[in-house]
């Protein structure tokens, strides 16, 4: 029986024009460019306007990926959008993208795994293609995080930005050219470390009984420790499953949440700086969009060539985590 896998043949990105710099934040909360830059590695982030929606950027990123791949939208079998900040709970962002790009034959699904969402979506795409059920699957990570930011909270308002990235996966009849392995994980017992209250049907209140603000709450130190541990373990797991070691890695694209997390993971994997892609300084944490945004820019900068081993690695609320090893084709 022929062994199939999935390979990426097109990538795309979309970002708001508006920039919010650290200097701007200095005028809003008690913080400084030096403190933000040293602590998380962010210099600026993109902010969506009132007439720009999650589906706006998801659609643009999707169109760019399709154009690069040279695939007609009618040939797409499945659209997966990783997001926790959709236009609406229903219809899904994937439905809106399908309509916007004319992918009339595509099934549609939104995936909610927070910052790990794109990796989860890529794993679903790989499984569907590897099984022979589908040929072309569009995976998008798209977020409007700033819609849920408490701009008076200096610990979280410095972190988040908006944007989208997309990758088009297609079938490869050579199992060694494309996705080699994946690792996914979660731990619901740590659910309270990173929470967006009042974003669903459950009502959150403060100790005095007043409604909680619908804004991200995070236990930063605990999130940091868990992120480093699980991202490191996930990366090692996918390499082991593929019969590889960290010495074989050509490029690591890790979730762009905090430069210290990325550096810590790279150090544990013994990867030099030139093998680690970083763009957090320009966009901040765009949640499920960070990995595909970075992937798109890595392709634009010609950081990947055929045969290279790429590892994508992410961690998010839930808690969730996941990694994937890909031989670039």
Q: Annotated catalytic sites, by residue?
A: 115, 255, 285
**DSSP-assigned letters across all residues of 263-323:** HHHHHHTT--GGGB---HHHH-B-GGGHHHHHHHHHHHTT---TT-EEEEEEEETTTEEEE
Query: In sequence order, what are the residues at sequence separation of 6 or more whose Cβ sits closer than 8 angstroms to the Cβ of residue 18?
Result: 46, 47, 48, 49
Spatial distance between the Cα atoms of 94 and 62, rounded to a whole number of angstroms: 10
Going by C-alpha positions, the residue among 307, 270, 301, 289 that lies closest to residue 113 is 289
Residue with tokens 């650290």: 22
Separation between Cα atoms, residue 313 and residue 253, nearest integer Å: 6
Kindly list the distances between the CA atom of residue 252 and the CA atoms of 106, 151, 184, 239, 263, in Å, as whole numbers in the listed order: 31, 32, 17, 12, 11
Question: Which secondary structure element, helix H or strand E, spans residue 326, and what is its range?
Answer: strand 320-327
Q: Any bridge partners for residue 22, and if so which?
A: none
Residue 168: closest CA among 12, 302, 325: 12
Instruction: State the Cα torsion 288-281-247-250 to the nearest 10°.
Output: 80
267-283 burial, b if ≥16 CB within 10 A, otherwise e? ebbebeeebbbbbbbbb
Query: How many residues are recorded in the chain?
Result: 329
């Amino acid at each position: 029986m022929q062994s199939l896998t999935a390979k990426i043949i097109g990538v795309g990105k979309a970002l708001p024009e508006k920039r919010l710099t650290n200097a701007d934040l200095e005028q809003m909360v008690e913080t400084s460019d030096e403190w933000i830059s040293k602590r998380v590695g962010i210099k600026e982030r993109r902010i969506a306007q009132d007439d720009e929606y999650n589906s706006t950027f998801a659609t643009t990123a999707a169109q760019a990926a399709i154009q690069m791949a040279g695939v007609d939208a009618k040939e797409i079998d499945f659209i997966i959008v990783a997001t926790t900040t959709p236009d609406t709970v229903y219809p899904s962002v994937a439905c809106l993208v399908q309509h916007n790009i004319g992918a009339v034959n595509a099934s549609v699904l939104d995936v909610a795994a927070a910052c790990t969402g794109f990796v989860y979506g890529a794993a679903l795409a790989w499984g569907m293609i590897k099984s022979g059920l589908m040929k072309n699957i569009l995976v998008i990570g798209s977020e409007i995080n700033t819609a849920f930011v408490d701009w008076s909270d200096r610990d979280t308002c410095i972190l988040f930005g908006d944007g989208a990235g997309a990758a088009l996966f297609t079938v490869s009849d050579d199992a060694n050219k494309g996705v080699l392995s994946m690792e996914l994980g979660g731990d619901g017992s740590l659910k309270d470390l990173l929470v967006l209250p009042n974003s669903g049907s459950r009502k959150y209140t403060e100790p005095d009984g007043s409604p909680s603000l619908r804004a991200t709450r995070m236990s930063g130190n605990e999130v940091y420790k868990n992120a480093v541990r699980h991202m490191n373990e996930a990366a090692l797991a996918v390499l082991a499953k593929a019969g590889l070691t960290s010495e074989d890695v050509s490029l690591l694209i890790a979730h762009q949440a905090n430069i210290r997390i990325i550096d810590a993971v790279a150090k544990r994997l013994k990867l030099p700086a030139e093998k680690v892609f970083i763009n957090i300084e320009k966009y901040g944490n765009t949640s499920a969009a960070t990995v595909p945004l970075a992937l798109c820019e890595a392709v634009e900068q010609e950081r990947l060539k055929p045969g290279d081993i790429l590892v994508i690695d992410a961690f998010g609320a839930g808690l969730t985590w996941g990694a994937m090893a890909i031989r670039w084709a």
